[in-house]
Amino acid sequence: MSQSKLYELGAAHAATLIACRELKSEDLVRSCLERVSERDTDIHAFAHLDALAALAHARALDSGPIKGLLHGLPLGVKDLFDTADLPTSYGSSVYANHRPVADAASVAMCREAGAVVLGKTVTSEFAFFHPGPTCNPHHRLHTPGGSSSGSAAAVADRMLSLALGTQTSGSIIRPAAFCGIVGFKPTNGRVMSAGVKSLSPTLDVIGGFGRSVPDAALLGAVLTGDTRLMDATAQDLDNPPRIGFFATPNWGDVDADIQTAWMYAEQTLSKAGASCNIAPTPTGFESLVQLQKEICSYEMAHSLSHERLRHRAQISAALNGLFDEGMKVDGISHAQNLMLTQEWRQKIQQMFVDHDVILTPSTLGEAPLGLDSTGDPLFCRSWTLLGLPCVHIPFATGHRGLPVGLQLVAAHGDDHRLLAAAHWVHQRLTQ
């Protein structure tokens, strides 16, 4: 591969080459920066970029010992994460000149593992629905999803191979689906949240994006400290999982592209040897979307109290509306909602007695036309509320030529089994 095309390398492959000293981090970083220079005036994936610092860090890594799993790999950091050497604006003019004094714990861990932070990627305003300027790299008139829009678009457009994201409703899985890449949301609580702007302590999860399941697993292993996540994608691909096909009570909202992908997945995976069965809908599951919305609005209205009370004029109508909804929920009702959530998190484990993973929609369809919305997180809300690990698998194309896929969900704490199954599934669906 030519030096100018090194940006095409996936993270897992590049990590192996760098560890063997067959590839220099500086060459890889330079290639990615050239790609950013070529493409980001159209895509607008980055909020802040420091090319000189990234190249200097890469040169230092090339001259020293291998530091860790991400040694020398370029990394995009969602602008919701604090960084000591780059501005952090949380997608809002309220923090236009904000310079944190320390890295978020997850950013520090990635640097400790050898990652080279290329820059900060665009987030929607406080990771809610008001979008930033990022376009979908497959078609610039369509949304890339949100709130981790810049991270997903940068990975999809080959500006880098790994990027950090967060999910409070559907902010990892949805942009991964719209941009046609792998998005991984770990089990709730597996990744330290210190230094990431808190929106909803009950729902917030840190994860990330890669071009393949092994790429996402590599990043996940660093974020969680659990190397089983990386090891899972190196295991025997001939061990078929037990897959529960779960259409959810909202199946009537999906379009023909998702239905076609669903049927293709069922036929292909069954033929490949997977046990594919219909997963029954737990009684009351349809109530979880509204429960997630109430918890999200209450906790965001309170977590962002300073911004709500002192900077209303700088905040979008959409977020102000969420604040108003959240303040209508009283503390007693919120406590009851939290208790109900805990009950459901235990109850949902029953779904995984007969299934290793659940296959379910990620989105209603392709990325919608227009940049004034990030799309509907309907099919992500329940799984985020339940705190379960999820991964989006891209494998199809919709009627407009945009990416389509489905997500896999596993039991609480079964992140490594989820990634093993996801790798098996992705290999079969993209053969």
Residues with catalytic function:
78, 147, 171
Place of tokens 């989105």: 363
Q: End-to-end CA distance of the chain, in Å?
A: 23
Q: What angle do CA 51, 55, 57 make, to 5 degrees?
A: 120
Which of these, 74, 47, 61, lies nearest to 158 by C-alpha position?
A: 74
Which of these, 63, 145, 212, lies nearest to 375 by C-alpha position?
A: 145
Question: Could you tell me the CA-to-CA distances from 395 to 136, 173, 179, 262 in Å, in that order?
Answer: 17, 14, 11, 11
The structure tokens listed for 52 are 């000189």
The tally of CA atoms less than 13 A away on the side-chain side of residue 49 is 22
Please give the single-letter amino acid code of residue 139.
H
The tally of CA atoms less than 13 A away on the side-chain side of residue 142 is 20
358, 351 Cβ separation under 8 angstroms: yes
Which of these, 185, 135, 211, lies nearest to 377 by C-alpha position?
A: 185
Which of these, 279, 309, 265, lies nearest to 426 by C-alpha position?
A: 265
84, 101 Cβ separation under 8 angstroms: yes
Question: Residue 422 and residue 424: Cα distance in Å, rounded?
Answer: 5
364, 286 Cβ separation under 8 angstroms: no
Query: What single-letter DSSP state applies at residue 66?
Result: -
